[in-house]
C-alpha cells in the first residue's frame, strides 16, 4: 500500500471544479482527496492515521494540474507511412489518381500485413509512448489495417499486452475490421460483412472493448453498419462509428438507433443528425487534426453542445491524414477551429472522453477516481489555447510516475 501526496499545486482543474494552492492525496492507484491544501485532512480512516506519515510527498512547484487526458479516437496500429501520398494530395492529385498509384488505406493494409509482429509491436509501442509523455493517460486505439481474422485479433492482443507495460497509457481497444473492404473481398462484400460478424465474438474474447464501423461512401453502408454493430453488441462490445465524415448516408441515425457509445468525426452532420445523437445519448467524438488535413469543414460542435450532446476529442492519428499524438494540441485546435472555450475543450478531453468510452473511473480528480494526473508547464489552463501543444512536465498513471 502506497500513500502519495502531491502538494504546492498552484491551480487544480479537477474536471468539475477549479481551486488554487491545492493538494491531491493518492492511495495506491486511486485518488483519496483533492482540494485546497488548507482543507487537507490530517487523517483518512483505513488509509492513513497521520498525514505526516505519507510514503511520498511531491512538491509540484505551483503548476497547473489536471486529470490525465483521454484520446477518444486513434488508429495507432499500422506499419509504414503514406507521406508520398500526402505530398501528391497537396499537389492536387485526386483520390483515384492516388489509388491508381497504389495509395490509400489498402496500401497501409499491404505494408502492415507484410510486417512481422515484433517490428509492428515495437512501432506501436514507440508511438503510444508519445501519447502518455504528452499527458494522455487513456488512448482509444483501433485495429483496422490487417483486415484478416488472425491479424485483427493479434492487434487486439498486442494492444492489451502493451497496456500492461510500464509507462504506457491505458488502452481502450477497438475492433475495426469494418474499416474498408480488403482487396481479396472485392466483388464479395457480403462475404466480408459475414466474416467480420463472425470475428466480432473472437475479438471480444481477445480483449477488445469496442467495435467500430466506418460508415461512409466507399466504406460501409448504414444497413451494413447496423448489422455489424448489433452483432458486436451481442458479443459484449461497445459500439462506435465513423459517421458523416465525408457524406451523409444515414450513419448518425444508425448510431442513435443502435445506441452507440460514440459517433465520430461528424464533419458533415446536420441538425437532424445532431438531434438524433442528443436524443439517444450518443457522445460525439470530434477530431480537428484530421479535419484540417482532409479539407473537411469543422464539425458543427457548437450546435452539438447547444443541443445537449456530450462532446469528446480525438487525435484521429492515422497513417493517411494525421500524425498528431498530442491531445494538448487537439485542445488548442478545438478552441481555434470549433470556437470552444478552454474549459469546454478541456472537459471534452477528459470527462467527454470518459463518456465516449463509457468508463466511469477517470476524467476527473475526485475521490475514488483513478489517479491519472498531469502537471503542466503552465500555471493556468488558458495556456492550452496559446501553446498549441502545451508541455506535460510530469504524468502519473494510477498514482505511478511515468518515466520519460
Ligand X SMILES: N=CN[C@@H](CCC(=O)O)C(=O)O
What DSSP string describes 18-53? EEEEEEEEEETTEEEEEEEGGG--S-BTTTBS-GGG
Residue closer to ligand X, measured from CB, 6 or 329: 329
Q: What is the CA radius of gyration of the chain?
A: 21
Residue closer to ligand X, measured from CB, 108 or 334: 108
Of 160, 82, 149, 148, nearest to 121 by C-alpha is 160
Residue closer to ligand X, measured from CB, 227 or 245: 245
Closest-by-Cβ residue to ligand X is 320
Cβ at position 112, least distance to ligand X in Å: 10
Which residue has cell 511520498? 56
Residues 6+ apart with CB under 8 A from 87: none
Note the residues at the interface with ligand X (CB under 6 A): 75, 105, 108, 242, 245, 290, 316, 318-321
DSSP letter at 351? I
Residue closer to ligand X, measured from CB, 35 or 319: 319
Residue 297: all three cell numbers together: 469543414
Cβ at position 147, least distance to ligand X in Å: 12
Of 243, 142, 152, nearest to 196 by C-alpha is 152
The C-alpha torsion from 49 through 360 and 288 to 272, rounded to 10°, is: -150
Cβ at position 316, least distance to ligand X in Å: 5
Widest pairwise Cα distance in the chain: 70
Cβ at position 169, least distance to ligand X in Å: 19
Instruction: Identify the helix (H) or strand (E) that includes residue 150.
Output: helix 149-163
Residue closer to ligand X, measured from CB, 52 or 101: 101
Cβ at position 181, least distance to ligand X in Å: 12
Distance CA(195)–CA(183), nearest Å, equals 14
Residues 6+ apart with CB under 8 A from 366: 14, 15, 16, 31, 34
Residue closer to ligand X, measured from CB, 26 or 252: 252
Cβ at position 271, least distance to ligand X in Å: 23
Residue closer to ligand X, measured from CB, 135 or 319: 319
Cβ at position 143, least distance to ligand X in Å: 12
DSSP letter at 370? B
Amino acid at each position: 500500500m502506497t500513500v502519495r501526496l502531491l502538494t504546492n499545486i498552484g491551480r487544480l482543474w479537477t474536471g468539475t471544479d477549479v481551486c488554487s494552492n491545492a493538494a491531491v492525496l493518492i492511495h495506491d492507484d486511486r485518488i483519496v482527496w483533492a482540494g485546497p491544501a488548507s482543507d487537507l485532512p490530517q487523517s483518512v480512516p483505513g488509509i492513513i492515521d497521520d498525514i505526516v506519515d505519507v510514503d511520498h510527498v511531491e512538491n509540484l512547484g505551483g503548476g497547473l494540474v489536471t486529470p490525465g487526458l483521454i484520446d477518444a479516437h486513434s488508429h495507432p496500429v499500422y506499419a509504414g507511412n503514406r507521406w508520398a501520398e500526402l505530398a501528391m494530395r497537396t499537389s492536387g492529385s485526386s483520390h483515384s489518381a492516388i489509388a491508381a498509384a497504389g495509395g490509400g488505406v489498402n496500401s497501409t493494409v499491404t505494408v502492415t500485413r507484410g510486417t512481422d509482429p515484433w517490428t509492428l509491436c515495437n512501432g506501436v509501442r514507440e508511438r503510444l509512448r508519445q501519447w502518455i509523455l504528452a499527458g494522455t493517460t487513456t488512448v482509444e486505439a483501433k485495429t483496422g489495417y490487417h483486415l484478416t481474422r488472425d491479424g485483427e485479433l493479434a492487434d487486439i492482443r498486442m494492444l492489451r499486452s502493451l497496456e500492461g507495460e510500464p509507462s504506457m497509457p491505458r488502452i481502450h481497444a477497438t475492433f475495426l475490421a469494418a474499416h474498408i473492404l480488403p482487396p481479396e473481398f472485392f466483388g464479395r462484400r457480403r462475404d466480408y460483412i459475414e466474416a467480420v460478424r463472425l470475428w466480432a465474438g473472437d475479438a471480444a474474447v481477445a480483449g477488445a472493448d469496442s467495435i467500430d464501423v466506418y460508415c461512409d461512401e466507399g466504406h460501409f453502408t448504414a444497413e451494413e453498419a447496423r448489422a455489424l454493430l448489433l452483432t458486436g453488441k451481442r458479443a459484449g462490445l461497445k459500439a462506435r462509428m465513423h459517421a458523416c465524415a465525408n457524406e451523409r448516408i444515414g450513419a448518425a441515425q444508425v448510431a442513435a438507433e443502435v445506441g452507440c457509445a460514440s459517433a465520430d468525426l461528424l464533419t458533415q452532420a446536420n441538425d437532424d443528425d445532431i438531434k438524433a445523437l442528443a436524443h439517444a445519448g450518443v457522445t460525439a467524438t470530434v477530431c480537428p487534426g484530421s479535419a484540417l488535413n482532409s479539407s473537411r469543414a469543422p464539425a458543427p460542435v457548437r450546435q452539438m453542445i447547444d443541443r445537449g450532446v456530450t462532446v469528446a476529442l480525438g487525435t484521429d492519428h492515422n497513417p493517411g491524414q494525421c500524425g498528431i499524438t498530442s491531445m494538448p494540441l487537439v485542445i488548442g485546435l478545438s478552441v481555434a477551429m470549433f470556437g470552444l472555450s478552454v474549459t469546454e475543450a478541456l472537459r471534452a478531453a477528459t470527462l467527454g472522453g470518459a463518456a465516449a468510452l463509457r468508463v466511469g473511473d477517470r476524467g476527473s480528480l475526485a475521490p475514488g477516481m483513478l489517479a491519472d494526473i498531469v502537471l503542466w508547464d503552465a500555471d493556468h489552463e488558458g495556456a492550452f489555447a496559446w501553446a498549441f501543444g502545451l508541455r506535460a512536465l510530469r504524468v502519473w498513471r494510477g498514482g505511478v510516475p511515468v518515466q520519460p
